[in-house]
Amino acid sequence: MDNFNNSFEFVMELEHPNKNKALHRNKRESGLTFMGIYENSHPTLEIWESIRNVLCFNDGDLEKSSVQAMNILGMRDRVKDFYKSSFWDRAKLDEIEGLAKCKQVLKFGVNIGMRTAIRDVQGIIKAYPDGLVGPETIQALNNFNQDDFVSIFIQKQIEYYDFLVKRNPRLDIFYKGWIYRANAQ
């Protein structure tokens, strides 16, 4: 559980280093984002009702609402549970040895989708690239040198973001943040 807690805190620092910005609206996106969770991707998540109530109370002021939403009793635990069940558990990261490996996989999977992130992991470790984590993937990742994995995986993340911007230049607005995120350790 320590690896999850450390990895979660690492991702939270990337998602919202400033409590006043934990709730925000990204450029070119229509929904809200809270603690890295995009409303349009997860519209039925129960946190949105509480957040809407806080926004209403604050006449739509995102900064005031951000701090208040962060302080709602149990909100951080609900968000943490979401990250654990939606990302960590899907990648079976409890079975992976090495905090640095776990942090990298979680960080990338949260941003682009866990199945795509796992396919990239599998490409590095020479496991079948189906985006699913089974015994072969777990064993191969555990046997892979952690420092080498982190170095290669960071480069894979950068290549992925380069590809996205090349394919759709309008995404360039996010590129600097993506590269910062990719290099985070």
List, for residues 159-178, the tens digit of each pLDDT value: 999 999 999 999 999 999 99
Average pLDDT, stretch 20-33?
Answer: 86
% the chain with pLDDT above 70: 99
Kindly indicate the confidence band of residue 16, based on its pLDDT and cuts at 50, 70 and 90. Answer: confident
pLDDT of residue 1: 67
**What's the pTM value of the predicted model, to 2 decimals?**
0.92
- CA–chain centroid gap for 17, Å, is 14
Mean pLDDT, rounded, of the chain:
94
Picking from 160, 157, 149, 95, the residue whose alpha carbon sits closest to that of residue 124 is 149
- CA–chain centroid gap for 94, Å, is 16
pLDDT of residue 19: 80
From the CB of residue 103, how many other CB atoms can be counted at a distance below 10 Å?
Answer: 22
Kindly indicate the confidence band of residue 30, based on its pLDDT and cuts at 50, 70 and 90. Answer: confident
Q: Could you give the domains of the chain? A: 2-83 (no CATH), 97-183 (1.20.141.10)
Kindly indicate the confidence band of residue 28, based on its pLDDT and cuts at 50, 70 and 90. Answer: confident
Assess whether pLDDT exceeds 80 at residue 27: no
79-137 pLDDT per residue, tens: 999 999 999 999 999 999 999 999 999 999 999 999 999 999 999 999 999 999 999 99
Residues 6+ apart with CB under 8 A from 98: 142, 146, 149
